[in-house]
Structures are given as structure tokens and as C-alpha cells.
Homo-oligomer: A and B are copies of this chain.
Amino acid sequence: MNTAAHREFKERLFEQFARVGKALASPKRLEIVDLLAQGERTVEDIAKETAMSVASASQHLQALKGARMVESRREGLYAHYRLAGEDVFRTWQAVRALAESHLAEVDRVVETYLENRDTLEAVDAMELMERLSDGSVVVLDVRPEEEYRAGHIPGAISVPVGALETALHMLPKDKEVVAYCRGPYCVFSDEVVLALSARGYRASRLTEGFPEWQTAGYPVELKNPR
């Protein structure tokens, strides 16, 4: 292959790679990917959760679809979108991890909005996995119940935010409570841990969310354990 052909090859090749990069270049699209990591969603769901107009959400979804990062199916009036594979989530995780470790601004944003996060006890997936086996913890899934039903950490109890009060009677004060959520930046587990701590429970949050747990290869339960 001569020099000109070689250059042409590289340019065509990297143009393709950049299609993925471009898809990852918008905050809104990253939010969509993060949301879809929880499971299928309709365009309307996505628009609502990301505070976009439906048209705008649809356009971003088309962009992601163009990069083959999401797929859709139609069911009646609704178009359901989902990630096109686990590797899409993995790539998003890599991008997020890179930002976390290199951009000081990420920490600053977290500290600004989650002022007391560093005062909360936190456990990571490996730690929780160990303590699951000896039965010394109660695990709370604080996501919307629908997401719980689509898969959760084995033995976890579904306690969507807002339902904490009514679920209190199920929580033994002698065991530690670990709450988890959609991802490392999902604020609901923070809030639950704060509320439980204030009531005298020993509570901590899982540093990662359910998608990270699942992608890391830890066991997942599909049916409600009770």
C-alpha cells in the first residue's frame, strides 16, 4: 500500500471510530445512555427524565441509533429504545471513569450538590458481595419499582424513594442497611442513607449502581424474593 492509500485508509477508518466519539459528545446523549442502562424506555419517558422536548429527545435518539449504540422497537404507538449491547454501557463507563479521574470539576460538582456525601458510609460491590453471604446486611433498592422488577441485587428489598416511611418496619435495627440506586451519581441512595442514619439505623450506600453491579458480573435476581 502506498502512502496516499495508507492515509486514505486511516482517514476512513478513524472517521468511523469518530462516529462513536461524536455520539458521546453531548451531555444529553450521555444522560440518555445512562438512563437506558436501567432498561428500555419510550421517547416520552426519556424526554421527561432528561428534561428535553420530545422532538429533541427523538433527535438525540436518532443520533445514537446512527452510531448503532441504541436500538428501537415499536409497540403500538410507542417506540421503545434500549442500549444496543452491554459494550455500549462499558464504553460509557470508560468515558465516565476517565472524566472522574482526570477532571477535578467532577469532584467539585459532586461536592457542591451532595455536600454530605463524604460523611456517609459507603461500601463497594466486592465488599457488599462478601457481606451478602454472611447475612449481616439488608440491601435496599431505592429505584422505581419497575426497575427493581427488571432485575436487582439478590435479596434486595424494593423501597422506592418516598416509600421509605412505610418500609421502615421491615428494617431491623441490628443489621446494617445498604442502599443502592441507578448509578454512582444517583442521589436517592444518599437521601435514604441520610434519613436512616438520622433514625438510628446503621446505613451506608453502595458506591456503584445496579448497572455497574450487573456488568461487573455479580449475581442478579429477577423475581421478587418474597
Contacts and interface: CB of A to CB of B under 8 A. Distances in A.
Contact of A95 (B30, B51, B84, B91): B91
A88 interface: yes
A1 interface: yes
A54 interface: no
A65 to B, nearest CB: 11
A8 B24 CA distance: 20
Interface in A93-131: 94-99, 101-103, 105-106, 109-110, 112-114
Contacts of A22: 25
A31 interface: yes
Contacts of A102: 20, 67-69, 84-85, 87-88
Task: Give the interface size bracket for A toward B.
Answer: 35 or more
A218 interface: no
A108 to B, nearest CB: 9
Given A1-B113, A9-B187, A20 B106 contact: no
A33 to B, nearest CB: 10
A14 B1 contact: no
A100 to B, nearest CB: 9
Nearest to A109: B12
A87 B97 contact: yes
Given A11-B27, A18-B25, A5 B113 contact: yes
Given A1-B191, A30-B14, A21 B21 contact: yes
The 4 closest A-B pairs by CB, nearest first: A21-B24, A68-B102, A14-B27, A25-B25
